[in-house]
C-alpha cells in the first residue's frame, strides 16, 4: 500500500483548475485566476501565445539532445546525448534544480503569477506534463517515442522530476502549501494495442517523477483510463473528467483503499468548451457532482470522507474555450464550490 502525503490544510471541495488558458496575455489570464480562485490559484499555461508553451515544449529546456524545429520537438538520439546526460545526472544527484528552471519565454504565465503574488492563498497549484505523456509524445529523430529507449526514458523521469522540484521551490515562495499536478492525458491509451508499455513500468515512471517532491502530488487524466494504475501510485490527488466520465472511477475497487488512506478525488465537473458552458448552471453541475459521489458511496466509502477529500475543477484545461468562455468556466467553478460547501460542509 502506498503512503500518501497528509495535507496541512483542508481541501473540502475547494476549487482549482488544470493549467491551460486561451489567453495570449499572461496578465489577463492571471487576473482571472486570482479573481475567481482565491483559495487555490494556479499559474496559467498559454499555448496560444507560443509553440513553446504547449505542454510538451514547455518543459523541454535542457533535455539532452532535444531540438525544436519550427513546430516540431524531438530528441536526436543518433548524435549521442552522453554530454547532456552527464549534466542531467550531476544536477539530479546534487539537487541543482535551478539548472532546470522554466524560463519566461516558455512559461510567461508562471513568471507573471510569481511576480504578482496572489494574496493570502490557502495553497498554490502548479502543473507539469507527466513522464508517460511526455515520453510517448516527444519522439526521436525517427519519430519513435523516446520512452521506448531505455536510456532516454530514464532521462525523461529525472528531467521532469528536476523541473517539478524547481517549480515547487518557486511556488513555496508564495505559500507553504503547494500542489503540483502531473498531467497525463496519454493515460487514456494505456493498455491499448498502440502502447506496448506495461502497467508496472508506467507506475515506475510516475513514481520516479514524484521523487523528493514535498508538495501534494496530483495526477490528471482527462480521458477514460485504467484508473487502477493511478490509484495504486503514491499520488495524493486523482483528477479526472467527471463531466464526461463521471461514474467510471467508481468501477475500480482500488478507489476505496485510495480514499481510506487519505487520497483526494479532484472532480473535473465543469465543462471547458463554450457551447457546453453556455448551457450549464450551478444547479445542474451540483446534481452531476452529487450523482458521481453517490457512485462511490455505494462502494462503501463514507460521505464525510468523500466530502472532505475532494477538490472541484474543470474537466480539463480551458485552452479550447474563448476568453469569455474561460471566465464563465472559472465563475461557474467558484460558484459551484461555494454552493457545494454551503450545502454539504456546514
Here the CATH number for the domain that contains residue 182 is 3.20.20.210
Q: List the beta bridge partners of residue 238.
A: 219, 265
Claim to verify: residue 185 and residue 308 sit in the same structural domain: no
Q: How many CB atoms lie within 10 A of CB 127?
A: 27
- Domain span holding position 90: 79-240
Q: Are 203 and 232 in contact (CB under 8 A)?
A: yes
Claim to verify: residue 162 and residue 290 sit in the same structural domain: no
DSSP annotation of 273 reads S
DSSP annotation of 218 reads E
Alpha carbon dihedral 116, 339, 291, 249, in 10-degree steps, equals 20
19: confidence class by pLDDT, cuts 50, 70, 90: very high
Q: Are 222 and 316 in contact (CB under 8 A)?
A: yes
Grid cell locating 321 = 474555450
pLDDT at 231 over 70: yes
- Report the mean per-residue pLDDT for the chain: 94
138 falls within a domain: yes
pLDDT for residue 221: 95
pLDDT for residue 294: 94
- By C-alpha distance, which of 55, 216, 234 is closest to 136? 55
Half-sphere exposure of 18 (CA within 13 A, CB side): 33
- By C-alpha distance, which of 239, 208, 212, 236 is closest to 225? 239
Claim to verify: residue 230 and residue 295 sit in the same structural domain: no
Q: Are 226 and 188 in contact (CB under 8 A)?
A: no
Q: Indicate the number of domains in the chain.
A: 2
Q: How far apart are CA 177 and CA 334, in angstroms?
A: 20
- By C-alpha distance, which of 91, 82, 58, 78 is closest to 146? 78
Q: How far apart are CA 144 and CA 149, in angstroms?
A: 9
pLDDT digits (tens, 9 = 90+) for 185-219: 999 988 787 888 999 999 999 999 999 999 999 99
189 falls within a domain: yes
Q: Average the pLDDT over 118-139 and give the result.
A: 97
232 falls within a domain: yes
pLDDT for residue 194: 81
pLDDT for residue 5: 61
Among 172, 207, 240, identify where a domain stops: 240
Claim to verify: residue 233 and residue 99 sit in the same structural domain: yes
Q: How far apart are CA 134 and CA 56, in angstroms?
A: 6
pLDDT digits (tens, 9 = 90+) for 251-280: 999 999 999 999 999 999 999 999 999 999
pLDDT digits (tens, 9 = 90+) for 320-343: 999 999 999 999 999 999 999 999
322 falls within a domain: yes
Claim to verify: residue 169 and residue 273 sit in the same structural domain: no
Claim to verify: residue 92 and residue 181 sit in the same structural domain: yes
Claim to verify: residue 174 and residue 278 sit in the same structural domain: no
pLDDT for residue 345: 86
7: confidence class by pLDDT, cuts 50, 70, 90: low
Claim to verify: residue 148 and residue 190 sit in the same structural domain: yes
39 falls within a domain: no
Angle between helices 108-116 and 150-171 (to 10 degrees): 20
pLDDT for residue 4: 62
Claim to verify: residue 154 and residue 301 sit in the same structural domain: no
pLDDT digits (tens, 9 = 90+) for 144-167: 999 999 999 999 999 999 999 999
- By C-alpha distance, which of 65, 64, 68, 75 is closest to 138? 75
Half-sphere exposure of 226 (CA within 13 A, CB side): 13
pLDDT at 237 over 80: yes
Q: Average the pLDDT over 132-142 and give the result.
A: 96
182 falls within a domain: yes
Length of the chain, in residues: 346
Q: Are 92 and 158 in contact (CB under 8 A)?
A: yes
* Out of 5-14, 232-241, 307-316, least confident range: 5-14
Q: Strands 72-75, 66-69: parallel, antiparallel or unpaired by DSSP?
A: antiparallel
Claim to verify: residue 171 and residue 219 sit in the same structural domain: yes
pLDDT at 1 over 60: no
56 falls within a domain: no
Q: How far apart are CA 234 and CA 218, in angstroms?
A: 9
pLDDT for residue 213: 96
DSSP line for 306-322: HHHSEEEEESS-STTS-
Grid cell locating 121 = 492563498
DSSP line for 64-121: TTEEEETTEEEE-GGG--HHHHHHHHHHHHTT-GGGG---TTT-HHHHHHHHH--SS-
Q: Are 169 and 163 in contact (CB under 8 A)?
A: no
Claim to verify: residue 296 and residue 230 sit in the same structural domain: no
Claim to verify: residue 234 and residue 268 sit in the same structural domain: no
Amino acid at each position: 500500500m502506498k503512503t500518501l502525503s497528509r495535507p496541512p490544510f483542508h481541501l473540502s471541495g475547494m476549487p482549482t483548475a488544470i493549467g491551460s488558458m486561451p489567453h495570449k496575455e499572461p496578465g489577463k489570464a492571471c487576473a482571472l485566476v486570482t479573481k475567481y480562485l482565491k483559495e487555490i490559484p494556479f499559474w496559467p499555461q498559454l499555448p496560444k501565445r507560443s509553440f513553446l508553451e504547449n505542454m510538451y515544449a514547455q518543459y523541454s529546456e535542457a533535455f539532452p539532445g532535444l531540438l525544436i524545429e519550427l513546430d516540431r520537438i524531438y530528441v536526436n538520439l543518433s548524435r549521442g546525448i552522453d554530454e547532456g546526460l552527464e549534466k542531467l545526472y550531476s544536477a539530479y544527484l546534487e539537487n541543482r534544480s535551478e539548472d532546470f528552471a522554466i524560463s519566461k519565454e516558455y512559461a510567461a504565465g508562471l513568471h507573471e503569477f510569481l511576480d504578482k503574488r496572489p494574496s493570502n492563498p490557502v495553497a498554490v497549484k502548479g502543473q507539469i506534463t507527466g513522464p508517460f505523456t511526455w515520453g510517448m509524445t516527444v519522439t526521436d529523430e525517427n519519430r519513435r517515442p523516446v520512452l521506448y529507449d531505455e536510456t532516454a526514458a530514464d532521462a525523461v523521469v529525472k528531467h521532469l522530476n528536476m523541473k517539478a522540484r524547481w517549480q515547487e521551490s518557486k511556488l513555496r515562495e508564495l505559500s507553504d502549501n503547494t500542489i503540483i499536478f502531473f498531467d497525463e492525458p496519454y493515460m487514456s491509451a494505456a493498455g491499448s494495442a498502440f502502447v506496448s508499455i506495461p502497467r508496472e513500468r508506467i507506475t515506475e515512471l510516475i513514481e520516479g517523477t514524484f521523487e523528493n517532491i514535498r508538495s501534494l502530488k496530483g495526477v490528471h487524466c482527462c480521458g477514460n483510463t485504467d484508473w487502477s494504475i493511478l490509484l495504486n501510485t503514491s499520488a495524493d490527488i486523482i483528477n479526472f473528467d467527471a463531466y464526461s466520465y463521471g461514474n467510471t472511477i467508481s468501477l475500480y475497487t482500488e478507489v476505496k483503499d485510495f480514499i481510506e488512506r487519505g487520497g483526494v478525488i479532484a472532480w473535473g465537473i465543469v465543462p471547458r468548451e463554450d457551447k457546453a458552458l453556455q448551457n450549464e448552471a450551478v444547479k445542474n453541475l451540483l446534481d452531476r457532482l452529487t450523482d458521481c459521489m453517490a457512485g462511490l458511496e455505494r462502494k462503501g466509502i463514507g460521505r464525510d470522507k468523500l466530502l472532505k477529500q475532494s477538490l472541484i475543477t474543470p474537466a480539463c484545461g480551458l485552452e479550447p474555450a474563448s476568453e469569455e468562455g474561460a471566465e464563465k468556466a472559472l465563475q461557474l467553478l467558484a460558484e459551484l464550490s461555494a454552493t457545494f460547501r454551503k450545502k454539504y460542509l456546514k
